[in-house]
Structure 1
Amino acid sequence: MVRKVLITGGAGYIGSTVASALLDAGIVPVVLDDLSSGRAEFVEGRVFYRGDIADPELVDRIFAEHPDLDATVHCAARIVVPESVSRPLFYYRENVGKTVGLLESLQRNGCTRVVFSSSASIYRPTPTGRVDESCPVEASSPYARTKQMMEQVLQDWTRGDGAEQTRVIALRYFNPIGADPQLRTGLQNLHPTHALGKLIEAHANGTPFTITGVAWETRDGSGIRDYIHVQDVAEAHVAALVRFDEVTGPGAGERYRVVNIGTGNGTTVRELVTAFEQAVGATLDVREAEPRPGDVLGCYSDVTAARELLGWTPRRTIAQGVEDALAWRSRWAARAAAATG
């Protein structure tokens, strides 16, 4: 039974929401984050170590002070696709090189259970956009390639000498939206790069919203995504930890598992705009532009494996994601304004 978990990147958007879900489930999160993009406010009242995941002395100290750690949830990563295109070496160092250093530390400290935050962006586009875990991968940006590379590293790790006890579940997220419904944490950036964040920004500032890419082979020409509430993503991590031994243990026959975490429904960017306008009761000024560097048609998930292996299904709607995202932005904007006084 999992009672205490190391979570890297636990001061970030997804990591902090996962940490909250762990607490709600009675599991103690021990957070490791360098706060380069995470927020100190998100770890208040939690066990927290500030530092680099590739710092072996720090990781050793964490395990020495918490010898009862049962698993690691690895969420720490750089995630901005356009930035990865312009700074590829930085992304490979941060996401791949440092993760290898982390794994060496985990191995040295006998941590044999890892849940890895992967990404659906590694999938090769399919004619329908629907993908399951058996579909080919073909990452199209340096960011996505770092996730694809790390999945291979992790799979090889479970097959190496002396790795008989090492087991990994890679969760391939689709497109998280929203915030912790209790508003403990959310997007730490008031100027995010993903579609819903840009919609909120356009609505708040009265500026145009631009759809980047309108000639994709989808039902309306805009990209297709699987927008999943971040709280559902967080609860999928809890489910993976609870069923970890069942899914990856000797009886399962596999020490490395990949599981899609999405809603199972595809939503185009134009459809997301419509849902957002309905939620806020206003019409946006929508414009069109060419795709950004690294943009792809997109995909949506087959969630059969998540249901059968983890006993998990998403419970929240896009409308709930929009509502929670708006509530969080309002709270975070007020907090930021008060801080600048």
Structure 2
Amino acid sequence: MKVLITGGAGYIGSTVATACIEAGMQVVILDDLSTGLRAFCEGRDLYEGDIAEPEILTRLLSDHPDIDAVVHCAARIVVAESVTDPLGYYDTNVGRTIVLLQRLRDAGISRIVFSSSAAVYAGESGQGADENSPLAPSSPYATTKAMVEQILKDAATNDDFRAIALRYFNPIGADPQMRTGLQNPLPSHALGKIMRARATGEPFSITGTDWPTRDGSGLRDYIHVWDLALAHVAAVQRFDDVSTPDEPYQVINIGTGEGVTVRELVAAFERVTGEPLPTIDTDRRPGDQAGAFAIVDRAADVLDWRAERSVDDGVRDAITWAAKLPSVR
């Protein structure tokens, strides 16, 4: 089986590529390297360019007419940046995806696995979300994910192709063998800020302590990136059983099924490092939400997939990878 991975030089795409290779698949990478690392593509068939660039797409599809499935990871993903550059995000994540999908359809490539996000859900309750939970994207980034989902659903209904949207919760960690990981040395997610606080010696700020969660701090579902990668392998391998001619579009949550509060994430970091981490409680920030965790029954039922790694595993691998990143770059 041959799989095209867009964004395959990035954090998630490169880890998905490794998991696919280990499962016996051939992998082709399409990435413009604007944020991805060339080092993540060593020994892999890399096409460097934009997902909507005509010449690149023509060459790639001519060289590989036997692509069986596409895992579409390429996207801009920084929430705060999407607020200040909404047009850029809609252009990249939606407009260029449409061009890519048109070319894939015209080439007769009918299986699409889309990297979506739990950011499409309403996140005000601190409770679990299943695939039928209300959608309420709270940023231009999240809205682009919801828009591409709708495009895929409509195109699948029109028999242009079949699609599976994987709604990721919160990836952490790195490839356990330290081949790939976050390429950004200063990630903006909670674990990244915890690691930065430790490095600078400053207290870590817990923003909001009156959320409707068990300890008042915000809650997320932190999934190890290797578990996430294995979910993609399962989606590709079981694609024809999941996305059928009668139901060509499917949505599947990918998470652990357990929520972890910010205070609990701090505690995991302290367990892994064996040292206390000073914290301070601060007010909620504009746009903050209580959060949600994944209800993952569908992933277990249709993909026979479950997350196996703990939040401590994710923290440990993230710390190990951060120490290695300067040499990788």
TM-score bracket relative to the smaller structure: over 0.9
Structure 1 Cα separation of the partners of residues 84 and 5 of structure 2: 28
Cα separation, 2, equivalents of 1:103 and 1:198: 36
How many residue pairs get matched? Answer: 329
Task: Tell whether the 8 Å contact from 2:111 to 2:163 is kept in structure 1 after alignment.
Answer: yes
Give the secondary-structure state (helix, strand or coil) at the position aligned to 1:19.
helix
Map of 2:216 onto structure 1: 221
- Distance of 1:294 and 1:185 partners within structure 2: 31
Task: State the 1:258 CA deviation.
Answer: 0.1
Matches within 5 A, 1:166-177: 166-177=161-172
Tell me the residue number matched to 1:327: 320
Q: CA deviation at 1:87?
A: 1.3
Native 8 Å contact 2:123 2:291 kept in 1: yes
Q: Deviations over 1:184-207 (max 9, x none)?
A: 000001100001111122223323
In 1, Cα distance between equivalents of 2:321 and 2:65: 36
Give the equivalent residue in structure 1 for 2:76. 78
**Aligned partner letter, 2:200:** N
Distance 1:57 1:31 in 2: 15
SS of residue in 1 equivalent to 2:166? strand
Task: Assess if the C-alpha contact under 8 Å between 2:126 and 2:290 holds in 1.
Answer: no
How big is each residue's C-alpha offset from its partner over 1:50-97, in whole Å with a ceiling of 9 and x where there is no partner?
A: 000011331121111011110100000111111111111111111111
Match of 1:60 in 2: 58
Identity %: 56
Contact 2:124 2:290 in 1 (8 A): no
Q: Deviations over 1:158-186 (max 9, x none)?
A: 122x52xx100000000000000010000
- Within the candidate set 278, 282, 285, 1:285 is matched to 278
The within-5 A match list for 1:77-156 is 77-125=75-123, 127-156=125-154
- Residue 6 of structure 1: how far off its partner (Å): 0.6
Task: Using the TM superposition, give the Cα deviation of residue 254 of structure 1 relative to its aligned residue in structure 2, in angstroms.
Answer: 0.6
Q: TM-score, normalised by structure 1?
A: 0.93
Provide the C-alpha distance between the structure 1 equivalents of 2:172 and 2:236, rounded to a whole number of angstroms. Answer: 22
Looking at structure 2, the residues matched to 74 and 212 of structure 1 have their Cα atoms a distance apart, in angstroms, of: 33
Distance apart, 1:334 and its partner CA: 4.5
Aligned residue among 12, 15, 25 for 2:23: 25
1:133–1:259 contact (8 Å) kept in structure 2 = yes
Cα RMSD for the two superposed structures: 1.4
Residues 6, 32 of structure 1: 8 Å contact kept: yes
Letter in 2 for 1:285: P
Aligned partner of 2:166: which letter? L
How big is each residue's C-alpha offset from its partner over 1:78-123, in whole Å with a ceiling of 9 and x where there is no partner?
Answer: 1111111111111111111111111111111111100000000111
The equivalences for 1:168-207 within 5 A come to 168-207=163-202
> Aligned-pair distance for 1:296?
2.1
Corresponding residue number in structure 2 for 1:264: 257
Instruction: Measure how far apart 1:335 and its partner are.
Output: 4.6
Task: Name 1:314's counterpart in structure 2.
Answer: 307
Partner of 1:339: none
TM-score by length of 2: 0.97
CA distance in 2, matches of 1:290, 1:230: 30
Tell me which stretches of 4 or more aligned residues in structure 1 moved more than 6 Å.
Answer: none
